[in-house]
Homo-oligomer: A and B are copies of this chain.
Amino acid sequence: MKLDMALKEMGRQSESYSGGGDGEIVDFYGFSSSSEEEEELFVPPLNFSMVDVGVFRSGFPDVANFGFLETLKLRSILYLCPEPYPEANMGFLEENGIRLFQFGMEGGKEPFVSIPDDTIREALKVVLDVRNHPLLIHCKRGKHRTGCVVGCLRKLQRWCLSSIFDEYQRFAAAKARVSDQRFMELFDVSSLKHLQSSLIFWKR
């Protein structure tokens, strides 16, 4: 994956150099000192992190993050907000052959928010299906909705609740919600256990 990233990046640099006319020295691999100074920096989305092999999480990606996301060679994106996906992001998906799974959940504040158990369950089925990997889970800020999906995944992976909450709080920080944590605590994973056969990174 990361090797691909480097090769793609080298390819991108070579393209920018290959426009030179006759007699110019073309630095196909971008190894010259000048190209090193100009090398592009990657901008991962806010709250980006690796959840497990083939599964990532983040806040809403924007145009500045597309270069980084390309390096992940995503096969799908799991989008957890009800709002339509922005045009620029749709374009990015089309260009990179990425499939969009949308499970819209309201992001309202406590105590008015109610987390739809069925939606989380359907979203988890997408995450658990290795044919969708590499996959990025995201909502708006990568805190509550994404945090609940990842927390329920950790329950399936048999993490203890205190470790699940430790991870949830790391991303939610000052915005951590007791209602989210209560949801994860009550979430019944038994109906998802039959999906184990399609998993690479978790079993039983």
Contact = CB atoms under 8 A, between A and B. Distances in A.
Contact of A160 (B5, B42, B49): B42
A39 B158 contact: yes
Contacts of A30: 204
Given A2-B199, A50-B51, 19 more contacts: A1-B53, A2-B157, A2-B200, A2-B203, A3-B200, A3-B201, A6-B204, A36-B190, A39-B204, A41-B159, A42-B160, A43-B159, A43-B163, A49-B49, A49-B50, A49-B167, A49-B170, A50-B52, A170-B171
Contact of A170 (B36, B39, B170): B170
A24 interface: no
A10 B47 CA distance: 35
Size category of the A interface is 35 or more
Interface string A46-61: 1111111100000000
